[in-house]
Structure 1
């Protein structure tokens, strides 16, 4: 069995602290990229200008009413991505939306293209609550 020294343990703690201190900023940038991919009309004030001027995730909250009205006409990949995005904002609404679009588990995100996978991955790595 490998013994962990104090120095190794402190180094691991310091790396975790550095990651989590930067996580909110990284989350916002991943979120903004996700909003761009999903469509700014469904987030914040619904405009491209609103996306460009956003300074926090609060400026880009999902417009749940607009999402529920438009998600039915989207491609399956767009639906899954959008539902996954909503789930970071609100677990209940996001979970219901994921179920509605046929997502039963994380493996169902495997159908997303690489760019959308990267966004979801960055959101998972940097999520620190809404």
Structure 2
């Protein structure tokens, strides 16, 4: 994944100012309900700054043998493997993330993309959340 990040920086990938690895990021929006529309989740997110980039994270569970293939495919769309959890049965929890501006349409598209990715790799997409730096009081 480091090579992918370097390639994008050197050859015209979209530069983002938000560092997804900052340790002061907080969850500002989330949805772990398959039937909830992204627009509803984003409307509920009072801490979300819609004018700023966010780290969109997708929480998946995949078979251990499918992790690398799924991460490689997600990497083509700018996703990075953020962290893995302890295996739960036959599936390993994994978080894929990328920096982007959130709106209901793009959030819905990415949620659908990750659900398809998980399904094609015999896994499950549990939900998503978005992180931003905490807002400072004026």
* TM-score over 0.5 (shorter chain): no
Instruction: Place the TM-score, normalised by the shorter chain, in its bin.
Output: under 0.3
Query: Relative CO higher for 1 or 2, CA cutoff 8 Å, sep ≥ 6?
Result: 2
Flag the structure with higher strand content.
Answer: 2
Q: Looking at CA atoms only, which structure, 1 or 2, has the larger radius of gyration?
A: 1
Which TM-score applies when normalising by structure 1? Answer: 0.26
Flag the structure with higher helix content.
Answer: 1
Which TM-score applies when normalising by structure 2? Answer: 0.25
